[in-house]
Amino acid sequence: MSNHLTLSDQQKENVEYIIKRMGELDIGNPFTQAGILAVISKESSFKPKSEHDYAGTSNSRIRKIFGHRVSGLSDSQLTTIKNNPVQFFDRIYGGRYGNAANEGYKYRGRGLNQLTFKANYEKINPFTTKDIVADPDSLNDLPTATEAVIGFFKRAFGRSGGKLSLYHMTTIDDATNTTDAVGAAFHANTGWGKSKTEIEKDRTGGYAKALGRVDQFYEMTKVATSPGKEASHETTTTTPNATPEIIASGAVTAAVLNIRTGPGTNFSTAGSIEKGEHVNVYQESGRWLKISVTEEQWVHGNYVDETDHETSVIATGEITARVLNIRIGPGTNFDKAGTLEKGNTVSVFKKEGRWLKISATEEKWVHGNYVDE
């Protein structure tokens, strides 16, 4: 049976967002990115969510998953408790890894890779804009879930105790193939205390599922990072007497950016353009930009820094994050220029992707996911 995952449009958009954020937060190796995505795919299918209840799961399956944590319960007792999620998770997770006896449900699995236990929420909290310890359900919002899962893997890869060498790696960006990358990501997610043999014999079937999908995700992660064929045509050619409207323009920010024959990674490549090259935009489809008048040539807008400027307020909004960083450019790679607190209102003068320029005269930018327009 194939482990290939058919992605909906929303899942594809979420994957593209996660890839972009990994690049912004210093996980740039496309093999490593693919390995992490393969693990996320079997944990949440790229839809941040809370751990499902077990009311519809057979008692035998629950015993196989949770072992001694339910071994003291009779079948009738287990049936009763599994139909009450609070009681069930307090029984399974309560009193462990930082949880009080009654906090198993509160700190059950959430997000993109099902982060579980209060101690782990506390460890990952420094990587997130929102306070996931005080507000665990914020892990089910894609921006916070993405920050958390990236923080989790960065932290885990840095604490392998030498076991990364089992996958021919010394750091998170050392992967040279998809097999090693998914193995390392799966091992990091499961815990370095297990042996490589235990990981590969994973009884849940998750390792086989992730391994079967990793090449599928590498086809997506390599788009903006792997060299392609040189573009053999100008991206701004026009037909005689044509007067097309240029709706935006900008410079390519990826090292090498693939041109596609349509607005999506499912379309074939039609060459590539390099960092710094200028493109004009004639049409938009979601996050994709058409950069030719006469041909179907599309690039992903996350990797084009548009240079058009807005001269007036185009929107207003309220800050929803506990504390939101202001940056001097549209990305986390730009330096901080202060902070805003929850409830502050801002005017928006320009948008680049999900970033908002909140000053008419200064380079002050905030992430739009934390602004309620």
Contact indicator for 318, 301 with CB cutoff of 8 Å: no
The rounded distance, in Å, linking the Cα atoms of 342 and 322 is 5
For residue 43, give every residue at least 6 positions away whose Cβ sits within 8 Å of its Cβ, in sequence order, or none.
112, 113, 114, 189, 206
Q: Residue 228 pLDDT more than 90?
A: no
Q: What is the pLDDT confidence band of residue 178, given thresholds at 50, 70 and 90?
A: very high
The rounded distance, in Å, linking the Cα atoms of 149 and 131 is 14
The rounded distance, in Å, linking the Cα atoms of 2 and 64 is 25
| 192-230 core/surface letters (b: 16 or more CB in 10 A; e: else) | beeeeeebeebeeebbebbbbbbebbbebbbbbbeebee
pLDDT in tens, 4-56: 778 888 898 899 999 989 988 889 889 999 999 999 999 899 999 999 999 99
DSSP 22: H
| pLDDT attached to residue 238 | 33
Over range 63-74, report the average pLDDT: 92
| pLDDT attached to residue 283 | 83
* Best-predicted range by mean pLDDT (21-30, 56-65, 320-329, 347-356): 56-65
Q: How far is CA 276 from CA 41, 253, 254, 296, in A?
A: 33, 6, 8, 21
Q: Residue 243 pLDDT more than 50?
A: no
Place of tokens 């690039």: 299
| pLDDT attached to residue 118 | 96
DSSP 251: E
The rounded distance, in Å, linking the Cα atoms of 96 and 100 is 7
Type of residue numbered 349: F
Over range 75-85, report the average pLDDT: 96
Bridge-based pairing of strands 248-252 and 278-281 is antiparallel
Q: Distance from first CA to last CA of the chain, Å, rounded? A: 45
Over range 144-151, report the average pLDDT: 95
Q: What is the pLDDT confidence band of residue 98, given thresholds at 50, 70 and 90?
A: very high
Q: How far is CA 273 from CA 96, 131, 147, 262, 299, in A?
A: 52, 40, 29, 16, 9
pTM above the 0.75 mark? no
Q: Residue 241 pLDDT more than 80?
A: no
| pLDDT attached to residue 70 | 94
Type of residue numbered 147: E
| pLDDT attached to residue 313 | 64
The overall average pLDDT reported for the chain is: 84
Bridge-based pairing of strands 288-290 and 283-285 is antiparallel
**Residue 2: how many CA atoms within 13 Å on its side-chain side?**
5
Q: Residue 96 pLDDT more than 90?
A: yes
Q: What is the pLDDT confidence band of residue 240, given thresholds at 50, 70 and 90?
A: very low
Q: Residue 121 pLDDT more than 60?
A: yes
| pLDDT attached to residue 307 | 55
| pLDDT attached to residue 231 | 25
| pLDDT attached to residue 1 | 41
Type of residue numbered 268: S
To the nearest 10 degrees (0 to 180), the angle between helices 206-221 and 178-190 is 130
